[in-house]
Structure 1
């Protein structure tokens, strides 16, 4: 979705003009960046949190030449989704698998042993 698409959708759902929505969106983004410049976090409850993360200086490689280069320390704006956003994006849980009903256990029948046979031959 592009910025113009977002503005169109908000203007339609909020029954506001596109220029008014564009001004509000620009002000929102400017406020988030102003807070980030001072190192503040911006939390939009239910949606997420914008925060500034510090990246330290590190060694890297130029992929074209393989030469080792120094990457300077920097700051970046990071976004962490809040519970409301995570819940909205969560995939539905598959239905629980039904376990087949177990057949009732068969009753054990006692088997009588045959009388022991006499050892050896029979005499008649």
Structure 2
């Protein structure tokens, strides 16, 4: 499902126009992005948690040469699925 299809589903389920659904989805995603970028968590109970996680510096290998290289520490976005989300996915499997 892409963003357009998601907007169609939201509009149908919430009985709102596609324009309104797009505005709400875009605003929601923007708030989540800004909050996580600021280093805070966004928790939607039952759905999951969006957060930034710090990865430690580590040693890796250059795939072309096989020589060791140092991979610097970095911050990455992460999502942890909530209980209801996990149960729904398992139920459909």
- Above 0.5 in TM-score? yes
- Aligned partner of residue 13 in structure 1, secondary structure: helix
CA shift digits 1:41-77 (9 cap, x unpaired): 1000111111211001111112122232221111111
How many residue pairs get aligned? The number is 92
- Corresponding residue for residue 57 of structure 1: 57
1:18-57 map, 5 Å: 18-57=18-57
Q: Which has the higher contact order (CA 8 A, sep 6+)?
A: 2
CA shift digits 1:15-51 (9 cap, x unpaired): 2221221121111111111111221110001111112
- Aligned partner of residue 66 in structure 1, secondary structure: coil
- Corresponding residue for residue 74 of structure 2: 74
Query: What TM-score, normalized by structure 2, do the two folds share?
Result: 0.87
Q: Where has structure 1 moved over 4 Å in runs of 4 or more?
A: none
* CA–CA distance in structure 1, aligned partners of residues 56 and 26 of structure 2: 31
Gaps of 5+ in 2: none
Higher helix share: 2
* CA–CA distance in structure 2, aligned partners of residues 67 and 19 of structure 1: 53
* CA–CA distance in structure 2, aligned partners of residues 89 and 7 of structure 1: 21
Alignment pair present for 1:90 and 2:90: yes
Gaps of 5+ in 1: 93-124
Query: What TM-score, normalized by structure 1, do the two folds share?
Result: 0.67
Higher strand share: 2
1:4-19 map, 5 Å: 4-19=4-19
Rg bigger for which structure? 1
